[in-house]
Amino acid sequence: MNAHDSSAKLDTFKASGPGGQHRNKRESAVRIKHLPTGVIAQAVEDRSQHMNRASALARLRTQLALKVRNKVDLDSYSPPLELLCILPLASTIRGSECGPQIGPKNPKFVLGMQALLDLIFAVEGSVSEAAKLLGLSTGALSRLILSDDSLRMAVNELRASKGMKPLK
């Protein structure tokens, strides 16, 4: 997804708040709305519209990864490449085509995070079941989930709705 995508609406506006002479008088704040889902992300912290657009787009991608679920067929499940790249090196199904493990600070982590959440939602929050499908120990998958705050909160929200204990 990019800011020029027809499924997204981009608005620019003047940010309000303190700042006096350092507050930009131009419309540098950016708001992006994903039209199919209604998810909105905005950025106002930079004086550059280009920087704010990049920040808002990254936030929108993260919000979509956390909120939009894709259906997973557990009977014929094969993890997508995006998910394989965020798995720890200890995974038995992680191939050499992935290269080094992608961490939470990498922009590509969001795609793997979405695929991981899709799988965890498909197994109804069971980390041990998801770990088996990914060739990991339950502890290794738990550490991966806990490495990113937004991923941890999404998984714990699902687990709470199913009456399960949260991951800590």
Would residue 9 be called left, alpha or beta, if left means φ above 0 and alpha means ψ between -120 and 50 degrees? beta
| C-alpha–C-alpha distance, residues 162 and 56, integer Å | 32
CB atoms closer than 10 angstroms to residue 73: 8
Instruction: Please give the sequence-ordered ranges of beta strands (E in DSSP) within the chain, or none if there are none.
Output: 8-13, 29-34, 39-43
Q: How does pLDDT run across 12-64, given as a tens digit for each residue?
A: 888 776 666 666 667 888 999 999 999 999 998 888 889 999 999 999 998 98
Per-residue tokens: 49: 């519209």
What pLDDT does residue 159 have?
A: 95
106: Cα within 13 Å, side-chain hemisphere: 13
